[in-house]
Structure formats: structure tokens, C-alpha cells
Amino acid sequence: MAGESADLYKVRNRETLRRLDTGMEITRATKHEPIAFDSLSNEELRDCTDSRSGSKFLAEWTLAQLTDWTEQQVRLRGWRFPPGVQAAVRFQMPRPVGYVKGKLVRTITIFASGRYVHAFPDEDQDG
Amino acid sequence: MAEPIPLDLSGTQRIVYPPIIDFLAHDPVLRAYVADFVPDPHVSQEQKESVYLRDGTDAARRIEELLSELSSILNAPVAVVKIAHAGGDSFDFYTADGGMIELHDSPSPQFSFDVYAAIQALSQEVQFEFIRQRRVGRVAG
């Protein structure tokens, strides 16, 4: 829904983008959202996407797309709250999804902590 | 609405290093603080780790005390009940009445460093509890 897509950007950092009927809540993590990568030097890009600053999604990963995709994965795993989940699940995607420490990566990690779930680009395990 | 708190970074570089609280809030259903954090790389190579600090434990009591201290330093109108890292040296603090205090650039270095000291204490406490639980097998290593 167009209305929902726009409203997602009004949600504050680590507050709920979508509450599922299973009790799980997908939250917004602003530090992983796209930035203007083209204007950065290699060193700046590395600093802006390290563990302090947070890995960053490419612009094509809008909040609406990320929320839909995360919901799909949460439902596939049957995660519910209560009891909630403590898990980090990695997904190797067919195309690059974002930057980690200045490198393009294809991995998204879905991170569940209690009722809350969010996703971020993560290092590729195959190097 | 949120009033950004500025931080003077002149003459300084990075202030916050891992471990860094990524998210901290109390969950009444779990009867625990739910904490995500960016670990010190010597503790874990993962980008984030998660731990529950159960009500009634020493760790949960220390978190409660540190949140109370942080609320006082921030001069928050009501207690800070949730912390979210916004990347780098920026943090969002949520109060019990739904308000939000943002911490980034500030003209008062002393004030900012007091806040960062509290955040670092919280981050260390959470990471230490993660290490303790991992040792006894309550979180995956």
C-alpha cells in the first residue's frame, strides 16, 4: 500500500514497522538504512559501514520491501511471541544488498530478540 | 517531539567503541530486559549479539540503576525506558511517556561525556552478562 510505504518512514528508530498476528514485531533500524554512497571516499565508506556506524542497505531496499521480505522469513520460520525468539539467521541473496566495512555484500541477517525482529546487511561468509 | 542534543566533536574523533548497546528495553511478558549489542570483536565476531537480563537478577538490577542514572544525566522529564543506537556516536533515548531524546552533536562536551560514560557502563554490563550466560550455555557461543 502506498500509504503504508510513506508512513513507514515516520516510524522512529527501533520502533515497530509492522506487528504480526503471531506477536512478533518488525522494527526499524535507521542505522542500516541507505546513504549517499557515491559521495564517499573508500575510507569514508568503510567508516560509515563498520560495526560502529552500522552496515547499510542499498537504496533499492526500501522500508516497504525490507518489511515485506522480513515478514515472509519470520512467517516461514513460524516465529511467535510469546515465547519469542533469540536467533540470527543469514540469507545469501542473488545480488548485492548493501555494504559492510566498505565491501559490497550479498548477505542479509535477520536478527530476532524476544518479540522484536530487524534485518541488516552482513558479511558474506564465503569471503 | 524530540529535541536533538548537540555534541561537540571538535578535537575528538570517535567516542563510542564496541561493546555498544544497539537496543535495550524491558519486556513485561518476558519479565526481562531484552538487549542487543555490538560486541567487542574479542568477545564475538558477529555484528550483533542478544541477551535477556531476567528480572530479579543482579544484572537486571544494575541495568535498572544505570537507566535511572542516565535519566538523571539527561534531565529526562520521566524515566528513560528504551535505548536505540542510531549509528556512530548517536543514540535515541525513549522515555516512559513516549518522548524521545536524541543524542548527537552538542555544545557541552562534559554533558555528552557523562552520557557516554553511562552508555558505556550499560554496554559493558550487557556484554558481561552475555559472556556469563554463554559460559553456562544459555546463549549460543
When divided into structural domains, chain A yields a total of 1
For residue B15, what pLDDT band results from cuts at 50, 70 and 90? confident
ipTM over 0.85: yes
Asked if residue A75 belongs to a domain, the reply is yes
Answer yes or no: do B87 and A30 touch at CB < 8 A.
yes
Contacts of A25 (CB under 8 A, 6+ apart): A16, A18, A19, A81, A115, A116, A117
CA-closest candidate to residue B118, choices B78, B53, B62, B50: B62
| CATH code for the domain in which residue B17 is found | 3.30.1560
The neighbour count for residue B1, using CB atoms within 10 Å, is 4
Which residues of chain A have a CB within 8 Å of the CB of B46? Answer: 88
Strand ranges of the sheet holding B32-38, from the earlier edge strand across to the other edge: B3-7, B100-106, B90-95, B80-87, B20-27, B32-38, B49-54
> Quick check: is B140 in a domain?
no
- Stretches where chain A sits below pLDDT 50 are none
Q: How far apart (Å, rounded) are the C-alpha atoms in residues A88 and A111?
A: 4
Distance from CA of B47 to the nearest CA of A (A): 6
| Residue B36 to residue A111, Cβ atoms within 8 A | yes
Q: Is residue B7 part of a domain?
A: yes
A115 within a domain of the structure (yes/no): yes
Give the pLDDT band (50/70/90) at residue B139. Answer: low
Q: How far is B82 from chain A (nearest CA, A)?
A: 9
Does A97 reside within a domain? yes
Contacts of B25 (CB under 8 A, 6+ apart): B33, B34, B81, B82, B83, B94
Structural domain tally of chain B? 1
Q: Is residue B72 part of a domain?
A: yes
Give B20-39 pLDDT, tens digit per residue: 999 999 999 999 999 999 99
Q: What is the b/e burial string over A22-61, where b = at least 16 CB atoms within 10 angstroms of the residue's CB?
A: eebbbbbbbbbbebebeebeeeebbbbbbbbbbbbbeeeb
**Inter-chain residue contact B30 with A13, CB threshold 8 Å:** no
Dihedral class, residue B56 (left if φ above 0, else alpha if ψ from -120 to 50, else beta): left
In contact, A13 and B86? CB cutoff 8 Å: yes
Q: How many residues in total does chain B contain?
A: 141
Domain limits at A8? 2-122
A67 domain residue, yes or no: yes
**Residues B38-59 pLDDT 10s:** 999 999 999 999 999 999 999 9
- Which of B16 and B61 is assigned the larger pLDDT? B61
**A35 within 8 A of A54, measured Cβ to Cβ:** no
Contact status of B15 with chain A (Cβ, < 8 Å): no
Residue A127 covered by a domain: no
Domain, as residue range, for B117: 3-135
CB contact under 8 A, B48 and A100: no
B141 lies in some domain:
no
**Residue numbers in B near A119 (CB within 8 A):** none
What digits encode the pLDDT tens for the residues B58-102?
999 999 999 999 999 998 889 999 999 999 989 999 999 999 998
The predicted-structure confidence for A55-88, as pLDDT tens digits, reads as follows 999 999 999 999 999 999 999 999 999 999 999 9
